[in-house]
């Protein structure tokens, strides 16, 4: 969108976008509940959907020059937005960065907006192995890198070679795997970076063998697939050698409800939105879980979801 002009009334300030050389969609006063898997959250003042890297550089450069806060996300999984929404500019990568390039030596270059499930299936069709574990993980490759997404003993770090990113000044960067310092559910990419592309090193394997592994992982996810109410996936990280869901269940919390949020009766490491949950409902449950598990098990759980926005 070029020459986009809009003034947004806010209790603390007026946000004005003027003559920003941006070609993607731009929305204003956007309910974040419509863009997250939890279906919870207040409004974002501005939401921009960059089409490509130039668009991204344009909007983050403009926002940074005006001092507007910036928040970047993909499909809104693994995310809890607070009830008063998000100030500034929310950059949604779900409509761009979809290019996939099949390169030499079983390497694939993947735009940050590509869905993991889509990528797994495309790799399967080409007989490229290494991502089968991700078949049930929602979200995009960009988010998967930031969170070092994983399941069943495998993680994104196992296949990443390098990533490309843009900082808030619009400068492009490249990070080799060795500089990202991957650990359990996180990597050390600087907070002022927006990942635009990831390079994955896979392994040529027979298609039937890959299909068997994909089926195995799908079967192992049958329990969580039965959760049909809005949720953000696993709420807590698994402590070393333990399962967070098992600890929560043994603490007697399975099925406990606060307002419109409930600890799932199917899997205790999921909190579901029964239809009208608020972020405060979810945060109350998180606090309750932490306290009870620590008192009964002596284990302090660490959240896996990202909490953003205004209290």
| Catalytic residue IDs | 185, 234, 304
Q: What are phi and psi of 299, to 5 degrees?
A: -120, 130
**Which is nearest to 130 in space by CA: 112, 110, 111?**
110
**Which is nearest to 192 in space by CA: 77, 35, 61?**
61
Given phi > 0 = left and psi -120 to 50 = alpha, else beta, which region is 274?
alpha
Please name the residues in contact with 52: beta carbons below 8 A apart, sequence gap of 6 or more: 96, 97
**Which is nearest to 231 in space by CA: 206, 267, 284?**
267
Query: Which residues are bridge partners to 31 per DSSP?
Result: 43
- Cα(50)–Cα(19) distance, rounded to whole angstroms? 16
Structure tokens at 112: 């940050």
Query: Which residues are bridge partners to 257 per DSSP?
Result: 262
The DSSP result for 33-81, as a single string, is GGGSTT----EEEEEEE--SHHHHHHHHHHHHHHT--EEEESS-TTEEE
The sign one gets for the Cα dihedral 72, 76, 77, 83 is positive
- Cα(134)–Cα(130) distance, rounded to whole angstroms? 9
């Amino acid at each position: 969108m070029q020459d986009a002009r809009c003034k947004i009334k806010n209790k603390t300030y007026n946000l004005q976008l003027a003559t920003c050389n941006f070609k993607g969609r731009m929305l204003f006063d956007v309910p974040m509940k419509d863009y997250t898997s939890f279906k919870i959250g207040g409004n974002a003042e501005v939401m921009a959907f960059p089409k490509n890297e130039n668009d991204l550089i344009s909007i983050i450069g403009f926002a940074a020059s005006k001092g507007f806060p910036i928040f970047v996300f993909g499909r809104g999984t693994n995310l809890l937005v607070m009830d008063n929404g998000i100030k500034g500019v929310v950059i949604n990568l779900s409509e761009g960065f979809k290019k996939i390039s099949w390169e030499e030596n079983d390497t694939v270059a993947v735009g940050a907006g590509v869905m993991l499930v889509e990528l797994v299936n495309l790799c399967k069709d080409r007989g490229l192995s290494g991502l089968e574990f991700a078949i049930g993980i929602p979200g995009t490759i960009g988010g998967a890198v930031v969170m070092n997404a994983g399941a069943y003993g495998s993680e994104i770090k196992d296949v990443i070679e390098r990533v490309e990113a843009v900082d808030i000044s619009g400068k492009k960067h490249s990070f080799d795997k060795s500089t990202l310092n991957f650990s359990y559910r996180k990597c050390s990419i600087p907070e002022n970076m927006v990942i635009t592309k990831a390079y994955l090193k896979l392994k040529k394997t027979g298609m039937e063998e890959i299909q068997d592994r994909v089926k195995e992982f799908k079967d192992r996810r049958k329990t969580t697939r039965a959760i049909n109410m809005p949720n953000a996936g696993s709420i807590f990280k698994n402590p070393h050698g333990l399962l967070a869901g098992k600890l929560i269940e043994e603490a007697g919390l399975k099925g406990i409800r606060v307002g419109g949020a409930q600890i799932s009766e199917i899997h205790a490491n999921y909190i579901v939105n029964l239809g009208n949950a608020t972020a405060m409902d979810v945060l109350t449950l998180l606090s309750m879980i932490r306290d009870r598990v620590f008192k009964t098990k002596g284990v302090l759980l660490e959240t896996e979801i990202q909490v953003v926005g205004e209290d």
